[in-house]
């Protein structure tokens, strides 16, 4: 995935921050479902469905997987996936008694909101103009 992030269009142009198009939205849904099925199979194989929290964890893992893919492609919507996943994860970890991890995800939520706002402000601008 990192190859998308660092790849140049040519010697002077980099991939700008953009919104997802229809095809990328379809791929996002397929990636979410694929990741969900994969994580579900892994949890089943290792007999990890011992609580309802395991089912929520499979969903957040798939959400974060799509967020990472979209982030690598510099798509604004990646932040939406991070925010949704974080909002689900904060109370989940509180419920599990993992207070510091829950606070960490609360901080991640705040960072993701700021990330969304910064990327939206710079939507479709060339990274080279942002460096000047």
pTM score of the predicted model? 0.85
Tokens of 26: 């379809």
User: Does residue 5 lie in a domain region?
Assistant: no
User: Does residue 88 lie in a domain region?
Assistant: yes
User: Does residue 1 lie in a domain region?
Assistant: no
CA-CA distance, 47 to 42, in Å (whole number)? 8
CA-CA distance, 90 to 88, in Å (whole number)? 6
Our CA dihedral for 39, 108, 122, 65, rounded to 10 degrees, sits at 0
Total tally of structural domains belonging to the chain: 1
User: Does residue 8 lie in a domain region?
Assistant: no
User: Does residue 77 lie in a domain region?
Assistant: yes
User: Does residue 4 lie in a domain region?
Assistant: no
User: Does residue 6 lie in a domain region?
Assistant: no
User: Does residue 69 lie in a domain region?
Assistant: yes
Range of the domain at 90: 17-130
Q: What are the φ and ψ backbone dihedral angles of 10, each rounded to 5 degrees?
A: -155, -165
Per-residue pLDDT of the chain (132 residues; tens, 9 = 90+): 455 555 555 666 677 899 999 999 999 999 999 999 999 999 999 999 999 999 999 999 999 999 999 999 999 999 999 999 999 999 999 999 999 999 999 999 999 999 999 999 988 776 666 555
């Amino acid at each position: 995935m990192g190859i998308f992030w660092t790849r140049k269009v040519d010697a002077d142009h980099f991939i700008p921050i953009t919104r997802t198009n229809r095809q990328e939205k379809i791929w996002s849904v397929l990636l979410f479902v694929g990741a969900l099925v994969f994580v579900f199979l892994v949890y089943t194989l290792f007999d990890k469905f011992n609580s309802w929290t395991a089912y929520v964890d499979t969903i957040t893992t798939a959400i974060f997987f799509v967020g990472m893919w979209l982030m690598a492609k510099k798509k604004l919507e990646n932040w939406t996936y991070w925010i949704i996943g974080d909002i689900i994860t904060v109370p989940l970890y509180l419920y599990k008694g993992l207070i510091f991890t829950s606070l960490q995800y609360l901080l991640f939520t705040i960072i993701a909101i700021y990330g969304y706002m910064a990327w939206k402000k710079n939507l479709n601008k060339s990274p080279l103009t942002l460096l000047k």
